[in-house]
């Protein structure tokens, strides 16, 4: 008795290539094409700290860019009084942005008073005030992450100011003071415009290294959201931090978990 062969199954229908077949039932073709063209939203990068409002909204000073040549002209017309006023106002803005008090006001007013009494003392206090102003400039720019590559050094500012003050009655002194003013307020304008263009008020604000225990306690609250720590002091830091807000040392790539 011979074995009967099993019946042959009918071949499966050929499948259409992806995207060429008819849409599944219940989904119109137009809706399917709209879904295919809809861009995928980019995931939001988590931030280690909540966004900070711009300085003016925090009650700080309004950083207004200074027209350099208008500044020079007004300083000449007012015999330097306008220059002294703008210098004081700009440095007090730096002081607020740096998040600390400084010796600038004391040096500045000592310079103003001694200018009428004893010229050598005025020269010393003026240099000390300018030195403190440049320190505050650097701290403010670092805290708000404004690039400082094109900034002039503290020594350049102080030397130009001292040389200009000592020789102000000749052309060399006037030129030195004009260049020092252009450098100083050019850097001030870069900080003011950089904070507007780069949205510094929307980025995490690096706390000042001069904050006290209250600031340290506030830092510890953000440890749960921080993703790296400083290798020197163990301070928890956000992922985009370049300097430790506690000890001020640079954050190396090896610090990340």
Q: How confident is the model at residue 147 (pLDDT cuts 50, 70, 90)?
A: confident
Span between the terminal Cα atoms of the chain, in Å: 77
**Exposure of 197 in the CB half-sphere (CA atoms within 13 A):** 9
What is the residue extent of each domain of the chain?
Answer: 64-202, 226-257
Choice between 231 and 191, residue whose per-residue pLDDT is larger: 191
CB-based contacts of 219: which residues, under 8 Å, 6+ apart? 207, 235, 236, 245, 246
The burial of 60, by beta-carbon neighbours within 10 Å (0-12 exposed, 13-18 middle, 19 or more buried), is given as middle
The burial of 206, by beta-carbon neighbours within 10 Å (0-12 exposed, 13-18 middle, 19 or more buried), is given as buried
Weakest-pLDDT range from 17-21, 133-137, 178-182, 228-232: 17-21
The average pLDDT across 123-132 equals 95
Give pLDDT tens digits for 25-69: 555 555 555 555 555 454 444 444 444 444 444 455 567 788 888
Q: Is the pLDDT of residue 130 over 70?
A: yes
CA torsion through residues 143, 144, 149, 155, sign = negative
């Amino acid at each position: 008795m011979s074995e009967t062969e099993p019946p042959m199954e009918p071949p499966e229908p050929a499948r259409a290539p992806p995207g060429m077949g008819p849409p599944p039932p219940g989904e119109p073709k137009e809706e399917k094409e709209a879904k295919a063209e809809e861009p995928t939203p980019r995931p939001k990068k988590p931030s280690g700290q909540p966004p900070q409002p711009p300085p003016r909204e925090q009650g700080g000073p309004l950083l207004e860019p200074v027209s350099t040549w208008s500044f020079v002209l007004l300083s000449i017309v007012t015999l330097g009084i306008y220059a002294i006023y703008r210098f004081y106002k700009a440095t007090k803005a730096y002081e607020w942005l740096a998040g600390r008090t400084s010796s600038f006001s004391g040096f500045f007013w000592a310079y103003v008073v001694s200018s009428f009494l004893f010229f050598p003392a005025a020269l010393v206090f003026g240099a000390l005030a300018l030195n403190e102003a440049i320190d505050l400039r650097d701290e403010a720019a670092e805290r708000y992450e404004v690039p400082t590559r094109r900034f002039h050094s503290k020594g350049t500012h102080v030397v130009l100011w001292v040389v200009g003050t000592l020789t102000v009655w000749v052309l060399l002194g006037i030129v030195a003071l004009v260049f020092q003013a252009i450098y100083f307020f050019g850097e001030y304008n870069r900080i003011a415009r950089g904070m507007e263009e780069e949205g510094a008020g929307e980025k995490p604000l690096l706390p000042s290294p001069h904050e006290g225990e209250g600031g340290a306690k506030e830092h510890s609250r953000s440890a749960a959201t921080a993703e790296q720590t400083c290798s020197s002091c163990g301070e928890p830091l956000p992922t985009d931090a370049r300097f430790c807000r506690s000890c001020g040392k640079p954050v190396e790539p090896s610090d990340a978990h």
